[in-house]
Amino acid sequence: MPITITPVQGDFVARVTGVDLHRPLDTADRDAIVRACDAYGVLVFPGQLLEKEELVAFGAAFGEVDTTLQKKLLNHVQNRLGLDTVTDISNIDAEGNVAGPEHWQTITTVGNRFWHSDGSYKHTPIRYSILNAVTAVERGGATQYADLRAAHDSLDDDTRAWIADKVGVFWSHNTRDWLKIPDSEAERSAFAKARWPLIRTHPGSGRKVLWCDSKVFAIENMPLPEGRALAHELIEHIGQREHVYSHHWQPGDLVMADNRCTVHRGRRFDHAERREMRRVETTDDSCSLGPA
Ligand code: OGA
Ligand code: MN
């Protein structure tokens, strides 16, 4: 069966079938996936429960697999999967049991509940984030994706003009700081703050995107409270339901998102249930305006 791309919500999100991700991708399928991701921002591949190594190989077909977050911070939480290339997005402890709500692994995933683009706080950010569900919970625990192209296009003219030349300062620990997670000074400064224009152009489609997420610590040349309030307003705008797709996970689902034109967030679930996903990220070739 040939690779088949089926749109889910207009030009946002598509389902991809007719390709077996356990095996190396041929060039035609790889190129079709890149084109589909450029067009739809998020791709859902059902029924693809991959081995860790297969997941890394799939990611590597689209660029260098990123290891910076894993090496700089996450390996110090725990490294159950034993690879710098695969992140453990789960509420499971090092022994394989469900980690309680007070466990550091569980607390670390709470930061994912705020709208964000993976790596927006890095000078060299993430292009694709690939999540593969090993187990899923009965209720809650969806991942929501929001379309930054649509969010740009639906801005009112005044706001679009007001932010046209503005630059956001993105900080890795902005949400963890807000959540009062007691990270060390070394962890809080592991990544220099990155500066990005609030309006960017998505290279794959040429479309403008509203580039703002929960990592925005400040907006340059604005008083800190005013800038933070503006960032909050822009995130509320992005998260309006007409821009959003909610993915309710089944074991084996694989979702590939283009962080250059989407944000995402995890939704609440009962921490007594087992939620286990694996993530591979690829490095983007764009660079921020430099450190703040
Ligand atoms: C991530 C993330 C959200 C979720 O893995 O990057 O933000 O639903 N996950 O687990
Ligand atoms: Mn994320």
Per the structure, the count of domains in the chain is: 1
Alpha carbon of 38 to ligand 1 centroid (Å): 21
Pick the atom of ligand 1 nearest to 266's CA.
8
Q: Which residue segment(s) compose the domain that 164 sits in? A: 4-283
Residue 290 lies in a domain: no
Residue 288 lies in a domain: no
Residue 290 banded pLDDT, cuts 50, 70, 90: confident
Residue 14 lies in a domain: yes
What is the CATH classification number for the domain harbouring 253?
3.60.130.10
Is the pLDDT at 62 greater than 90? The verdict is: yes
Alpha carbon of 266 to ligand 1 centroid (Å): 5
Residue 289 lies in a domain: no
Pick the atom of ligand 1 nearest to 281's CA.
6
Residue 154 lies in a domain: yes
Give the tens place of pLDDT for each residue, 162-218.
999 999 999 999 999 999 999 999 999 999 999 999 999 999 999 999 999 999 999
Pick the atom of ligand 1 nearest to 141's CA.
8
Give the tens place of pLDDT for each residue, 150-160.
999 999 999 99
List the residue whose alpha carbon is closest to atom 6 of ligand 1.
Answer: 118
Q: What is the pTM of this model?
A: 0.97
With contact defined as beta carbons under 8 Å apart, do 45 and 21 qualify?
A: yes
Residue 291 lies in a domain: no
Give the tens place of pLDDT for each residue, 208-260.
999 999 999 999 999 999 999 999 999 999 999 999 999 999 999 999 999 99
Residue 198 lies in a domain: yes
